[in-house]
Amino acid sequence: MTTTVYILNGPNLNLLGKRQPEIYGHDTLADVEATCTELGEKIGITTRLLQSNWEGQIIDWIHEARDAAQGIIINPAALTHTSVAVLDALNTFDGPVLEVHISNVHQRESFRHHSYVSQRADGVVAGFGIEGYALALRRMGRLLA
Ligand code: DQA
C-alpha cells in the first residue's frame, strides 16, 4: 500500500519567494514541492503539495485527506491564528498532523503567537525556513512507520 501525505498551504504562500523575502526567504513553493517529492521518494512516501488562498478549499482538502492520505503536514499561514474551522476539519482526520511555519512566529507580532491548529498538531516546526517541511516529512515518516 502506498503511504500518502498531504502537504497543505494556506493564504499567500503561492507568493513564497516573492513575498517579504526578508521573512520567508527566496525559495518558492515549487522548491518546497521538489524537496518534498525527492525526500518522499527516499523514505517511501508519496506527497501531494497543495496551496489555496481560500479557507473552504483547505477544509475540503482536509476532508479529502480522510480517505486519500495517512498524514497531513500543514502550513495554514494566517489561518493558523484565526480559523476554528480548519481546527475542526483537522479534528475529523485520524492520522498524524504536523504544523509548519517558515518563520519563527514566536519572535513576531503577538497575534501570531496563538495557533488554533496547534491544539490538534502532533508536532510543530517554526523558524527553520523551508527546511521545516523536510523536517516535518522525516518526522511523518517515523510516525507512519
Ligand atoms: C506563516 C506564519 C503566519 O503567521 C503567516 O500569516 C504566514 C506564514 C509561516 O510560514 O511563517 O502567512 O505560517
Is 101 an annotated catalytic residue?
yes
Query: Is residue 68 in a domain?
Result: yes
Question: What is the CATH classification number for the domain harbouring 13?
Answer: 3.40.50.9100
The number of domains in the chain is: 1
Query: Could you tell me the residue range of the domain that residue 96 belongs to?
Result: 3-78+88-109+116-142
Whether pTM > 0.75 for this model: the answer is yes
1 alpha carbon to ligand 1 midpoint, in Å? 34
Tens of pLDDT, residue by residue, the chain (145 residues): 799 999 999 999 999 999 999 999 999 999 999 999 999 999 999 999 999 999 999 999 999 999 999 999 999 999 999 999 999 999 999 999 999 999 999 999 999 999 999 999 999 999 999 999 999 999 999 999 9
Burial 18-53 (b: 16+ CB within 10 A, else e): eeeeeebbebbbeebbebbeebbeeeebebbbbbbe
Task: Answer whether 11's CB lies under 8 Å from 79's CB.
Answer: yes
74 lines ligand 1 (CB under 6 A): no
